[in-house]
Amino acid sequence: MAFNVGKFNEISVKSTKNAISGFVAKQTDKKLNQTFKQKRWFGHSGDEAQAILKQVYALGQLLAANYFIKFKPYRNNNLSSLPMMQDSLTGYLCTEATIPLLNLNFEQAQVGMFQTSRLVGTNLPEIQLVFIETGDGRIVNSILLWLKMMVNEDGTLNPPAEYAMRLNAGVFSKDYGLDLKPIDCNFLICPSVSNLDALNAMSVSEVLLVPVTFQVLRTFME
């Protein structure tokens, strides 16, 4: 067969190249389909993904709004006389809570060309709570009285046992309420910082909120 230079042009070469590439791609996809199972749902097949999602859903979930705050004077000290301790309602006035879980210190050491870290201790965390102030100012008055129980008028300090408060905080089940507390933490605390920094002449219909930062006196409980 004679070679026809007229038919050997750029268009013919391009179309032939595309045809070969398409053939190779089809053969490759065919081999992949024969070797691997289609797994387009989060890296799994449809059946696998459905089974996994059912298991994940069965784990349930906790809601950020379902937290609890409870105060109790340490060993029945004088904190029981604070206005906030006159009933069990103070915990329900807490609108926001930050509960510490972990705060560790590590030390780095050079080993040849590499670095290694080792645990050397823990930090005493801070707990931040925000309260709705009541009509009789029980939160602010309690903080001010609490300070007097920590520091005497002559500047001397009282022992921590006299101003320590037990705090029980965590998250309860949305289905079973306070009867089931999957997260339940205990701390020994005292107040460290509190400010009325949201006062505004234009806030004629806004509730006064009192943020309080508590220092953890001890991270372990007997």
Amino acid 218: pLDDT: 81
Q: Look at 140-144, 164-168, 201-205 and tell me which has the smallest mean pLDDT.
A: 201-205
CA-CA distance, 32 to 202, in Å (whole number)?
68
Q: Which of 107, 103, 108 is nearest to 123 (CA)?
A: 103
Please report, as a single letter, which amino acid is at residue 90.
T
Output the six-digit token pair for 18.
Answer: 């595309």
Output the six-digit token pair for 125.
Answer: 């965390």
Average pLDDT over residues 91-105: 94
Q: Look at 23-37, 97-111, 152-166, 172-186 and tell me which has the smallest mean pLDDT.
A: 23-37
CA-CA distance, 126 to 122, in Å (whole number)?
13
Please report, as a single letter, which amino acid is at residue 54.
K
Cα angle 150, 156, 161; round to 5: 40
CA-CA distance, 95 to 141, in Å (whole number)?
18
Give pTM, 2 decimals: 0.77
Structural domains of the chain, with CATH: 7-58 (no CATH), 67-218 (2.40.30)
Bridge partners of 216, per DSSP, are 189
Amino acid 133: pLDDT: 97
Amino acid 15: pLDDT: 62
Amino acid 122: pLDDT: 87
Q: What is the DSSP annotation of 174-207? A: TTTBTT--SEEEEEEEEEEEE------TT-SSSP
Amino acid 124: pLDDT: 82
Amino acid 13: pLDDT: 52
Average pLDDT over residues 143-155: 96
Q: Looking at residue 65, what DSSP letter applies?
A: T
Q: Say whether pLDDT at 127 is over 90.
A: yes
**Which residue's entry shows tokens 């022992």?**
159
Report strand pairing: 94-98 vs 126-132.
antiparallel
Q: Which of 99, 93, 92 is nearest to 62 (CA)?
A: 99
What is the per-residue pLDDT across 39-51, written as a single tens digit (0 to 9) for each? 778 888 888 889 9
The confidence band for 98, taking pLDDT boundaries of 50, 70 and 90, is very high
How long a stretch of residues is the chain?
222
Higher pLDDT, 163 or 15: 163
CA-CA distance, 1 to 17, in Å (whole number)?
22
Q: Say whether pLDDT at 24 is over 60.
A: no
